Amino acid sequence: MGDLSLFYDDHHEMIREMVREFAVAEIAPVASEFDESEQFPWENGAKMAEIGLFGIPFDEEFGGAGMDILASAIAVEELARVCGSHSIMIGAHTSLCATPIARFGTEEQKRRFLTPLASGQVLGGFGLTEPGSGSDAAAMRTTAEKKGDRWVLNGQKTWITHGGVGEIFVVGAVTDPEKGAKGITVFILTKETCDLEEATRVGFGHSDELDAMPGFQVGQKLRKLGWNASDTRELIFEDVEVPDANVLGEIDEGFPIFLDTLDGGRIGIAAHAIGIAQGALDEAVRYTGEREQFGRKINDFQGVRFMLAEMDTSIHAARVMTYHAARLRMAGKPYKKEASMAKLFASEAAMDVTTRAVQLHGGYGYSREYPVERMMRDAKITEIGEGTSEIQKMVISRELLKEHGQG
């Protein structure tokens, strides 16, 4: 790994070492097993909660570790280095659910919802995407109608990470259909986890203090190319009554909350992509140092070494871009364009590096005996989730043109 110490404080090094040790000892040995079984890793979730991974960037007052988003990105990276399904647990929960509550919630909302999220008592999710609206998120159809001191939600979300296992969700709904993106509100919804038995057994993933809102249901687990142990489902809202106290931010002003959440989330997905790519490079270095052909270790061949050099260089560039975007956000400076650039670059690097890692393993790379094929499958989602590569290019070009007075 190239020297990035200029971006670090001592606690960043400390968290990298701590999460790396944990990931190698607890997750790496079972990552393939969970990929095959497509089961949610409840026990490892409980262990991750125990060492405080669900609340890294949040105030200690609300159960967090009081660190920053660079520390959070580093933790995601080290988990992704061995398993994408485990690292997205932290990514989706922290960046997409707990962060908007921490940034836009009232003190009461933080006490009620951020505390169980940051302390790792329950899992959170983020409901933006719908069957008919993905990249064009403002075209959502879920509605919220005011009835007395409540809102009644009807509609459906899809592809929601932690849809089944989660208990707290940040969800968007149309409150004024005439106003497009300016008529969307964010609500905090609660339900019971879909696997209370497992949650109770491992002591993680459930709180008796949250209301299970009647009418808030989930669909079957969606089967995927990768992230197989991650729980992805539809959310279904049938006359779900949500109290005024669960409106996050102001009525009709939810869309900017989603955009803010996605800007930060893109740093998280970039870190996730870097971790997967680093894991694949680690495997490729190991394998090419052992495998012999033509009477030599294959890493004696210049063609192989050049490939390793290019993989290492892309990962280093992705890290510099991602840590820089995180530092801009930590300094309170604009970082939208840099976060999109980092996400675009890191996710495409992850796809390229994992594909080359499979290539460097030859036929064995195509087999389930080696982790690189899983890493290649897990890498693909980073080019799609939290804004596809094409959407990142829209964001970057819009910012670029603004800089040139053409926005």
Query: What residue ranges bind ligand FAD (CB under 6 A)?
Result: 92, 125-129, 134-135, 159-161, 224, 227, 232, 381, 384-388, 390-391
Considering the complex, state which of residue 262 and residue 308 has its C-beta at the smaller distance from ligand FAD. 262
Among residues 386, 390, 399, 403, the one annotated as catalytic is 386
**Least separation in angstroms between CB 158 and ligand FAD:** 7
**Least separation in angstroms between CB 85 and ligand FAD:** 10
The residue of the chain with the least Cβ separation from ligand FAD equals 134
**SS3 for 326?**
helix
Angle (CA) 315 319 324, round 5°: 155
Considering the complex, state which of residue 105 and residue 125 has its C-beta at the smaller distance from ligand FAD. 125
Where does residue 102 fall: left (phi above 0), alpha (psi -120 to 50 degrees), or beta otherwise?
Answer: alpha
List CB contacts of 118: < 8 A, sequence separation 6 or more: 54, 55, 58, 62, 63, 64, 98, 102
Considering the complex, state which of residue 66 and residue 256 has its C-beta at the smaller distance from ligand FAD. 256
Considering the complex, state which of residue 320 and residue 384 has its C-beta at the smaller distance from ligand FAD. 384
**Least separation in angstroms between CB 132 and ligand FAD:** 8
Considering the complex, state which of residue 304 and residue 391 has its C-beta at the smaller distance from ligand FAD. 391
Residues in the chain, how many?
A: 407
Is residue 60 annotated as a catalytic residue, yes or no? no
**Least separation in angstroms between CB 181 and ligand FAD:** 15
Chain position carrying tokens 């040139």? 404
How much of the chain is helix, strand and coil, in % rounded to 5?
55, 15, 30
Where does residue 387 fall: left (phi above 0), alpha (psi -120 to 50 degrees), or beta otherwise?
Answer: left
List CB contacts of 215: < 8 A, sequence separation 6 or more: 153, 237, 238, 239, 240, 241
Cβ atoms of 280 and 372 within 8 Å: the answer is yes
**Least separation in angstroms between CB 218 and ligand FAD:** 13
Catalytic residue positions? 386
